[in-house]
Structure 1
Amino acid sequence: MPIKVSVVIPVYNPGSYIEDCIASLLRQSLPGDEYEAIFVDDGSTDETPERLDRLAAEHPHMHVIHQEGSGWSGKPRNVGMAAAKGEFIQFVDNDDWLGDEALERMYDYGVEHNADVIVGKMVGKGRPVPRELFRKNRPHASVENAPLIDSLTPHKMFRKAFLDKYDLRYMEGRRRLEDHVFVTEAYLRAENVSVLSDYLCYYHVKREDASNAGFQRFEPVGYFKNLREALDVVEELTEPGPLRDRLFRRWLRNEMVERMRGQRLLKLPADYRRELFDEIHKVVVERFGPGVAAGLQTTQRIVADLIAAGRLADLEEFARWESGIKASGVLENLGWQSGRLTIGFTAEYKSGGEPVTFRADGEKDLLVPPLPRTSLDAIARLGADTSAPLAKSKVDVVVRERVTAAEFFQPVEFTREKLAVKGRPGYFRHVLRATARIDPLSAANGVGLDAGIWDVFVRITACGWTKDTRLGSVRGEEAGRERRAAVVGSPAHLVLPYWTDPHGNLSLDVDGHTDRIPYEFAALTPADVTVATDPDRLTVALPLHVQGESEATLKLTNVATGRSTRVSAALTARVTGEAELSAALPLGEPAGGQWQLELILPPSGAGEPVALPLALDVPASGGAVVRHLAAVAADLAAKDPGRRRPASRRAGLTFLRRAAGRLRRALKK
Structure 2
Amino acid sequence: MTAAQPDVSVIIGAYEAMPYLVECLESVQAQTLDPARIEVIAVDDGSTDGTGDQLEEFAKRAPMAVTVIHQENSGGPSRPRNVGLERARGRYVFFLDADDRLGAEALERMVAMADEQGTDVVLGKVVGVNRTAPKSMWGKTLPRTDVFSSQIKFTLSAQKLFRRELLTRHGMHFDESLKTGEDALFTMEAYLRADGVSVISDYVCYYLVGRDDGKHVTKSGSYTLRFDSARALMELIAEHVPAGPRRDSLMVRPFLITLLPQFGPAFLRGDEEVRAHKLELAKPLMDAYWHEGIAGRLKVNERLRLHLVARGREDLLADVLAFVSANKAPTVFMEPRTGKAYLGYPHFRDATAGLPDDWFVPTTRETLTIEAFKPLTTVHFKRLRKAARRVLKVRRAA
Shorter-chain TM-score tier:
0.7 to 0.9
Change (3 A) 1:246 1:316: same
Could you tell me how far apart the structure 1 residues matched to 2:164 and 2:69 are?
19
Asked if 1:53 corresponds to 2:53, the answer is: no
1:259 maps to what in 2?
A: 262
Could you tell me how far apart the structure 2 residues matched to 1:306 and 1:112 are?
48
Could you tell me how far apart the structure 2 residues matched to 1:121 and 1:379 are?
46
Could you tell me how far apart the structure 1 residues matched to 2:48 and 2:202 are?
39
> Paired residue for 1:152, among 128, 152, 156?
156
Secondary structure of the residue aligned to 1:204 is strand
> Paired residue for 2:118, among 100, 114, 117?
114
Contact residue 18 and residue 94 of structure 1 kept, 8 A = yes
> Paired residue for 1:317, among 302, 305, 319?
319
Change (3 A) 1:165 1:379: farther
Contact residue 71 and residue 174 of structure 1 kept, 8 A = no
Shift, 1:37, TM fit: 1.9
Could you tell me how far apart the structure 2 residues matched to 1:293 and 1:422 are?
25
Contact residue 71 and residue 173 of structure 1 kept, 8 A = no
Letter in 1 for 2:217: A
Asked if 1:236 corresponds to 2:239, the answer is: yes
Asked if 1:385 corresponds to 2:359, the answer is: yes
Shift, 1:125, TM fit: 2.8
Change (3 A) 1:200 1:266: farther
Could you tell me how far apart the structure 2 residues matched to 1:356 and 1:296 are?
16
Q: 1:410-449 maps to which residues of 2 (within 5 A)?
A: 418-419=370-371
TM-score (norm 2): 0.86
Could you tell me how far apart the structure 1 residues matched to 2:24 and 2:352 are?
51
Shift, 1:89, TM fit: 0.5
Could you tell me how far apart the structure 1 residues matched to 2:362 and 2:243 are?
28
Change (3 A) 1:42 1:217: closer
Secondary structure of the residue aligned to 1:6 is strand
Contact residue 29 and residue 63 of structure 2 kept, 8 A = no
Contact residue 301 and residue 384 of structure 1 kept, 8 A = no
Contact residue 299 and residue 365 of structure 2 kept, 8 A = no
1:280 maps to what in 2?
A: 282
Letter in 1 for 2:334: A
Change (3 A) 1:169 1:201: same
Higher relative contact order (CA 8 A, sep 6+): 2
> Paired residue for 2:333, among 344, 359, 379?
359
Secondary structure of the residue aligned to 1:55 is helix
Letter in 1 for 2:370: K
Asked if 1:102 corresponds to 2:54, the answer is: no
Letter in 2 for 1:26: Q
Q: Deviations over 1:308-355 (max 9, x none)?
A: 110122212211211233xxxxxxxxxxxxxxxxxxxxxxxxx3xxx6
Report how many residues are paired.
Answer: 378
Change (3 A) 1:28 1:160: same
Name the % identity: 30
Secondary structure of the residue aligned to 2:184 is helix
Could you tell me how far apart the structure 2 residues matched to 1:31 and 1:121 are?
21
Change (3 A) 1:35 1:379: farther
Q: Name the structure where helix makes up a greater proportion of residues.
A: 2
Could you tell me how far apart the structure 1 residues matched to 2:39 and 2:86 are?
14
Could you tell me how far apart the structure 1 residues matched to 2:165 and 2:200 are?
21
Could you tell me how far apart the structure 2 residues matched to 1:22 and 1:377 are?
62
2:71 maps to what in 1?
A: 67
Contact residue 134 and residue 195 of structure 1 kept, 8 A = yes
Q: Name the structure where strand makes up a greater proportion of residues.
A: 1
Letter in 2 for 1:64: V
Asked if 1:308 corresponds to 2:310, the answer is: yes
Secondary structure of the residue aligned to 1:233 is helix
Shift, 1:295, TM fit: 2.5
Contact residue 43 and residue 68 of structure 2 kept, 8 A = yes
Secondary structure of the residue aligned to 1:76 is helix
Letter in 2 for 1:210: G
> Paired residue for 1:90, among 78, 86, 94?
94
Could you tell me how far apart the structure 2 residues matched to 1:25 and 1:13 are?
19
Q: Deviations over 1:461-503 (max 9, x none)?
A: 99xxxxxxxxxxxxxxxxxxxxxxxxxxxxxxxxxxxxxxxxx
Could you tell me how far apart the structure 2 residues matched to 1:420 and 1:214 are?
38
Shift, 1:41, TM fit: 0.7
Contact residue 349 and residue 355 of structure 2 kept, 8 A = no
Shift, 1:186, TM fit: 0.6
Shift, 1:273, TM fit: 3.4
Secondary structure of the residue aligned to 2:157 is coil
Could you tell me how far apart the structure 1 residues matched to 2:203 and 2:352 are?
48
2:199 maps to what in 1?
A: 195
Shift, 1:112, TM fit: 1.3
Letter in 1 for 2:28: L
Q: Which deviates further from its counterpart, 298-307 or 59-68?
A: 59-68
Asked if 1:178 corresponds to 2:182, the answer is: yes
Asked if 1:43 corresponds to 2:37, the answer is: no
Change (3 A) 1:196 1:298: same
Contact residue 306 and residue 379 of structure 1 kept, 8 A = no
Contact residue 124 and residue 205 of structure 1 kept, 8 A = yes
Letter in 1 for 2:281: E
> Paired residue for 1:20, among 14, 19, 23?
23
**Of the two, which has the highest radius of gyration?**
1
Secondary structure of the residue aligned to 1:385 is helix
2:392 maps to what in 1?
A: none
Could you tell me how far apart the structure 1 residues matched to 2:165 and 2:129 are?
32
1:298 maps to what in 2?
A: 300
Could you tell me how far apart the structure 2 residues matched to 1:145 and 1:421 are?
34
2:12 maps to what in 1?
A: 9
Secondary structure of the residue aligned to 2:12 is strand
Contact residue 97 and residue 204 of structure 1 kept, 8 A = yes
Change (3 A) 1:117 1:20: same
Could you tell me how far apart the structure 1 residues matched to 2:93 and 2:372 are?
57
How large is the Cα RMSD of the aligned pairs? 2.8
Shift, 1:388, TM fit: 2.5
Could you tell me how far apart the structure 1 residues matched to 2:213 and 2:352 are?
41
Secondary structure of the residue aligned to 2:284 is helix
Contact residue 144 and residue 197 of structure 2 kept, 8 A = yes
Structure 2 unaligned runs (5+)? 390-394
Q: 1:539-578 maps to which residues of 2 (within 5 A)?
A: none
Contact residue 4 and residue 34 of structure 1 kept, 8 A = yes
Shift, 1:31, TM fit: 2.2
Could you tell me how far apart the structure 2 residues matched to 1:374 and 1:392 are?
20
Structure 1 unaligned runs (5+)? 326-350, 395-415, 432-460, 463-669
Letter in 2 for 1:172: E
